[in-house]
Amino acid sequence: MKSRRQFMSESAIAASSLAFPLVGGAQAKSVKVGIIHPVTGALAYSGQQCREGALMAIEDVNKAGGIKSLGGAKLEALLGDAQSTPQGGSAEVEKMNEAGVSAIVGAFASAICLATTQTAAKYNLPHIVDVGVADQIVERGLKNTFRFGPGYKKCAEIAVANLHVLNTAAGKPAKTIMIIHEESLFGTGTANLLTRELPGYGYDVKEVIKHPNPSRDFSNIVLRMKQINPDIVIPANYYNEYALLVRTMQQQKVVPKAIYSVLGGAASSYKFVKEYAEAANGIIDCNHWFNPKDKKAQELKKRAEAKGLYFSYELFMSYTATKLLAQAIEEAKSADRAAIIDALNKTKFSDHIMPYGQTQFVNGQNMGAQPLMTQVIKGDIKVIIPRDYREAEPIFPLNA
């Protein structure tokens, strides 16, 4: 293939023996973009969803004429596999750097993002974090790191504030809370934040339970739930465990006043709602979500589903991050790394499907980012808060 030979002659000696999978027709002018995700190993599903999202974005940009300020140069994706470890991601960044990419989008998991952004920083290579919610990612003072979506501190704050709003509006029926979280970075971090915030609003966190990842069984946790009988259950875990938990609750006939998740793995997942319609009913989630009123979002959803993919957060977050990059390159009028970083710092990117405020990067974090509150109502996921994006009235509590 012409493109392969071309890029090989540009790369260093080592890279020549390590062929990169190239996607997107390379022409005389193209901008190389590194797309790194954990597509094998424990995080394979999420990694693959992210990759699909990024590829769809690149497809869209190229179809719309590429980077116009660079004479229609097309985006060329170099795909990398982080193999679900930080060192895997780091090695891929090295390769991409050598292959001459202008920027990186990735790497889904916070632990991997910590490593990839750092390695990229060595070469002043702009790195857009697509999901990675750990706040430390953007708090290290790295000039090359940008995150468009919210971190978990923001998510936790909003979740707690909104819980209070819902509760107050319903006459304050809920007081006691039980948090169930997965044991690693994401779950523990979220749980810590919630435990700190909730008492301030007058809630009583009766218990915080941690569970292994992966977890085989939730019977004990549900038993404790039965004993403690909290008004609200807050899960923060990944898809498999979330599904098992909710199924077990349904089995044991434990029905709290609300299941209120924060970055719940399955709560706002079409896959989950489809497979467990009954158990999913009424679950509220504070999570990454697209703007439901945006037609483009609905179109994207249809396209993804036509490909047999679920329209999950990994997909649209990664899609958006890649579109952001394209915009930055457009505004930078150059494929130069420093120029792109500069453009990212200044950009007011608005051509996206996310329900965010004005785009403004401060220390690499987009201040306009926010999660949304969704609820599963009648077998579909509807946005309930904030009002601007509301699709349905929240049902709280689930039952009196």
Partner 1 sequence: MKDLKAIALFASVVACVPLFVHSGVILNLCMMALFATLLSQSWNILGGFGGQFSFGHALFFGMGAYTQGVLQIQFGLNPWVCLLLSLGSSALLGLLVGGLSFRYGLKGSYFALITLAFAEVFRILSLSTNLTGAGVGLMLPLSESMGNMQFSSREGFIWLILFWVVCALLITSWLKHSRLGAYLQAVRDNEDAAQALGVDPFQVKWIACALSASLMGVAGAFYLQVFQYIDPSLAFGPHTSISALVGAIVGGMGTLWGPILGAFALEILSEVTRNMFGQLPGINMVIYGSLLILIMVFLPRGFAGIRLFNRPKATDTAHPSGSIGVTAMGKEGEADPSTRDALRRQGSETPPSLNSTKVQS
Partner 2 sequence: MFDLSIVFSSVLNGLTMGAVYTLIALGLTLIYGVLHIINFAHGASLMVALYGVYFLKVKLGIDPYLALPIVVPSMFVLGYFLQKIIINHASHGKDENILLVTLGVSIVLENLALLSFNSDTRNIEIGYTLTTVAVGPAMIALPRLLSCLGALVVSLMLIIFMKKTDLGKAIRAVAKEKAGARLMGIDVEHVYAMCFGIGLSCLGAAACFLLPAFYVNPTVGNGFVLVAFTIVVLGGMGSFLGACVGGLLIGVIESVGGLFLGDSLGQVGIFVIFILVLLVRPQGLFGAKA
Q: Provide the binding-site residues for partner 2, judged by CB under 8 A.
A: 40-42, 44-45, 47-48, 183, 209-212, 214-217, 219-221, 223-224, 226-227, 239-240, 243-244, 247, 250-253, 271, 275
CA distance 231 to 229: 7
The residue whose two tokens read 């609905």 is 298
Q: Say which residue the tokens 């009766």 belong to.
A: 206
Q: Choose which of 12, 169, 255, 277 interacts with partner 1 (CB under 8 A).
A: 12
- 254: buried, middle or exposed (CB in 10 Å: 19+, 13-18, 0-12)? middle
Partner interacting with residue 251 (select from partner 2, partner 1, none; CB below 5-8 Å by kind): partner 2
Identity of the residue, 125 or 344, whose beta carbon is nearer to partner 1 in the bound complex: 125
| CA gap 25, 7 in Å, rounded | 12
Q: What is the closest distance, in whole angstroms, from the C-beta atom of residue 271 to partner 1 in the complex?
A: 19
Q: How far is the CB of 206 from partner 2 (least distance, A)?
A: 14
Least separation, in Å, of the C-beta of 11 and partner 1?
Answer: 9
Q: Does 9 bind partner 1 (CB under 8 A)?
A: no
Q: Within the chain, where are the H helices? A: 2-10, 13-16, 44-63, 86-98, 110-122, 152-169, 185-197, 219-228, 239-251, 270-275, 277-280, 295-306, 313-332, 337-346
Q: Should residue 24 be labelled a site residue for partner 1 when binding is judged by CB under 8 A? A: no
Nearer to partner 1, 40 or 298 (CB): 40
Residues 53 and 56: their CA atoms lie apart, in Å, by: 5
| Residue of the chain from 6, 18, 220, 333 that contacts partner 1 (CB under 8 A) | 18
Which among 182, 200, 181, 156 has a CA at the least distance from the CA of 371?
156
Please give the structure tokens belonging to residue 177.
């809370």
Residue ranges in contact with partner 1 by CB under 8 A: 12-15, 17-21, 23, 39-40, 44, 47-48, 79-81, 83, 85-87, 90-91, 94-95, 97-98, 111, 114-115, 118, 122-123, 136, 140-142, 182-185, 187-189, 192, 210
